[in-house]
Amino acid sequence: MTYEQIATFYRTRMGIQSERSVKQLAEFTRFIQRKKGDRLRVAGEEMTSILFLMNGVARTYVIDDYFGTLSSVFTFEGDTVELKMSKVAEWFLDEYVGTAEGAKT
């Protein structure tokens, strides 16, 4: 992607208006490809970067102290995003269960 395409992403998709901020973000942005099954983060790992999924599927897992689990699957393709969340837990993760779909208009 060109610098201007990256800058446009930050302006339009992320809503960043400061040109100074857009420039700094665009200069530090890099694109990487991952294979199916590759881990992006590991529990306890220090966060040193922000990741944006541009295309593909991401799955996340949350396990609490009482072994309740939450699974989230994000699917991105073109201008469409789908989200499916399910849990195996008592009442405390109920608000995170469901599906959603959206498209850029």
pLDDT tens digits, one per residue of 54-86? 778 888 777 777 777 888 888 888 888 888 888
Identify the pLDDT of residue 105: 67
104 and 64 assigned to the same domain: yes
How many domains does one find in the chain?
2
Identify the pLDDT of residue 64: 74
Q: Which domain holds residue 12?
A: 1-31
pTM to 2 decimal places: 0.53
8 and 59 assigned to the same domain: no
- Between 63 and 33, the more confident residue is 33
CB 77 within 8 A of CB 104: no
Element (H, E) at 25: helix 19-28
Q: What's at 23, amino acid-wise?
A: K
42 and 74 assigned to the same domain: yes
For the sheet with 56-63, list strands across it.
Answer: 56-63, 69-77, 80-88, 98-103
59 and 78 assigned to the same domain: yes
Nearest to 29 by CA among 55, 8, 56, 59: 8
68 and 52 assigned to the same domain: yes
2 and 24 assigned to the same domain: yes
